[in-house]
Amino acid sequence: KQEVTQIPAALSVPEGENLVLNCSFTDSAIYNLQWFRQDPGKGLTSLLLIQSSQREQTSGRLNASLDKSSGRSTLYIAASQPGDSATYLCAVVLGGSQGNLIFGKGTKLSVKP
Amino acid sequence: DGGITQSPKYLFRKEGQNVTLSCEQNLNHDAMYWYRQDPGQGLRLIYYSQIVNDFQKGDIAEGYSVSREKKESFPLTVTSAQKNPTAFYLCASSILPGQGVNYGYTFGSGTRLTVV
């Protein structure tokens, strides 16, 4: 059974720092991997989508990498800002599956001014 | 703008009562999903549907029911058989795997259900 783990569970950094969030998955036969952001009491906002054939995706200050063979993905946030404070969720879709997302429990990020 | 609309934002249920959560999308997506989110547990799949008039149970379907009479709509009913329904419910939609290179999920803003 596919399991997705996110480390750390919580992270607090000063404004301006570069940071890395980690995601690992047990079954490397994934269709794609998606990173989401969730603000308290809100829905999920898609940040980056990486297809299984891709190594990384970039959007603004965000860069996500994917290493299928080792079952790992990282989300790199450059020059963090207080507005980046949120919970970040990693999710994978298994190859050949019905397309259901399997989520990690998230990393709660706090960026202090 | 295309997106997913969930309503209501907050819902209160009395013991023994059935309640229905609405989810509508105008993205022309074939697949729709319902997830439940509890603190410290992450998101868990309740039901999903890939075509009108067909749906499949997810990991925690007991005490829930769904219908898919229209492509745009996928309502979730929380029945009295669900013993611990207090949670945050999220609806999502996507194209089907293989329909395009940008296969990814779009989520609604959620419904918070509380038992009173």
* A73 min Cα distance to partner chain B (Å): 16
Cis before A8? omega within 30: yes
pLDDT digits (tens, 9 = 90+) for A16-60: 999 999 999 998 888 889 999 999 989 999 999 998 889 999 999
Q: Do A46 and B41 touch (CB under 8 A)?
A: no
Range with lowest mean pLDDT among A94-108, B27-41, B48-62: A94-108
Strand order in the sheet with B64-66: B4-7, B19-25, B76-78, B64-66
> What's the DSSP call for residue B70?
B
CB contact under 8 A, B33 and A31: no
User: Hey, which bits of chain A come out as E strands?
Assistant: 4-7, 10-14, 19-25, 30-38, 44-51, 56-59, 62-67, 72-77, 86-94, 101-103, 107-112
- The sign of the dihedral angle between the CA atoms of A25, B59, B88, A44 is positive
A42 touches chain B (CB under 8 A): yes
Residue of B nearest to A30 (CA): B97
Q: What is the pLDDT of residue A76?
A: 97
Both tokens of A23, joined, read 């995601």
| Contacting residues of B for A49, CB less than 8 Å apart | 102-104
**Residue at A28: amino acid letter:** S
Q: Which of A32, A44, A49 comes nearest B90 by C-beta? A: A44
Smallest Cβ–Cβ distance between B107 and the set A32, A44, A106 belongs to A44
**Chain A nearest C-alpha distance from B12 (Å):** 16
Q: How far apart are CA B89 and CA B87, in angstroms?
A: 6
Judge whether A45 is closer than 8 Å to chain B, CB to CB. yes
Q: Report yes or no: A98 and A107 within 8 Å, Cβ to Cβ.
A: no
Nearest by CB to residue B104, choosing from A34, A98, A104, is A34
Q: What is the DSSP letter of A82?
A: G
Check CB contact of A113 with chain B, cutoff 8 Å.
no
Q: pLDDT tens-digit profile of B15-33?
A: 889 999 999 999 999 999 9
The pLDDT of residue B55 is above 90: yes
Q: Which of A103, A107, A108 to mutate to test the interface with B (most CBs of B within 10 A)?
A: A103
Chain A contact present for B106, CB below 8 A: yes
Residue A96: pLDDT band by 50, 70, 90 thresholds?
low
Give the C-alpha distances (Å, rounded to integers) separating B71 from B53, B74, B102, B110: 9, 8, 20, 19
Pair A9, A26: CB distance under 8 Å: no
**A52/B contact by beta carbon, under 8 A:** no
